[in-house]
């Protein structure tokens, strides 16, 4: 089973792809960030996310895409609106490519992967690196969050031993 995790954002959309092999072992396949140009208008940023994500899905052919649920904080209402644009594009690509989509909250994923729903991004990156046997310093926080989404889904669905 191939699982792709996506941590949505307009500045950086993190992605991480893992494969669950027989015996429940997890193998990292890909991770990184899609980073639209800061000065580009909104529509160009969304187009970049769309094109890059579509290429990734076509190359990796995930069985499922795991997306971080939208979190809205009353102190930052505009952030939720902006994040919604990126999430909409991600949902659109899933529909176009006929990839099943599941969503989890950050807290639920961090609880499944780190054991603490309130773990920091840095703690999550360290645990993801340990689980996947890769150097966490080579992962952006967005990419490690995306990998955590994929790992969390695998763990919650009992694909991992």
Torsional sign, CA 119, 125, 127, 128: positive
Among the options 7, 43, 103, 145, which is catalytic? 7
Rg (CA), the chain: 15
Tally the C-alpha atoms within 13 A of residue 125's C-alpha that lie toward its C-beta.
16
Among the options 43, 103, 142, 145, which is catalytic? 142
Q: Report d(CA 8, CA 22) in Å as an integer.
A: 30
* Annotation marks residue 7 as catalytic: yes
Among the options 35, 51, 55, 68, which is catalytic? 68
Q: Which residues contact 59 (CB under 8 A, 6 or more apart)?
A: none
Q: Which of 27, 49, 39 is nearest to 94 (CA)?
A: 49
* Annotation marks residue 142 as catalytic: yes
Indicate which residues carry an active-site annotation. 7, 68, 142
């Amino acid at each position: 089973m191939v699982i792709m995790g996506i941590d949505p954002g307009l500045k950086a959309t993190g992605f991480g792809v893992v494969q669950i092999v027989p015996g429940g072992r997890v193998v990292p396949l890909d991770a990184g960030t899609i980073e639209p140009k800061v000065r580009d208008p909104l529509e160009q940023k969304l187009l970049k996310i769309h094109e890059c994500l579509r290429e990734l899905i076509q190359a990796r052919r995930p069985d499922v895409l795991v997306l971080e649920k939208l979190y809205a904080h009353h102190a930052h209402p505009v952030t939720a609106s902006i994040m919604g644009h990126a999430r909409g594009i991600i949902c659109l690509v899933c529909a176009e490519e006929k990839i099943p989509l599941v969503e989890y909250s950050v807290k639920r994923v961090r609880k499944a992967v780190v054991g603490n729903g309130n773990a920091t991004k840095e703690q999550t990156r360290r645990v993801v690196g340990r689980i996947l046997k890769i150097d966490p310093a080579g992962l952006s926080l967005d990419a490690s969050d995306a990998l955590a989404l994929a790992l969390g889904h695998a763990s919650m669905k009992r694909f991992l031993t």
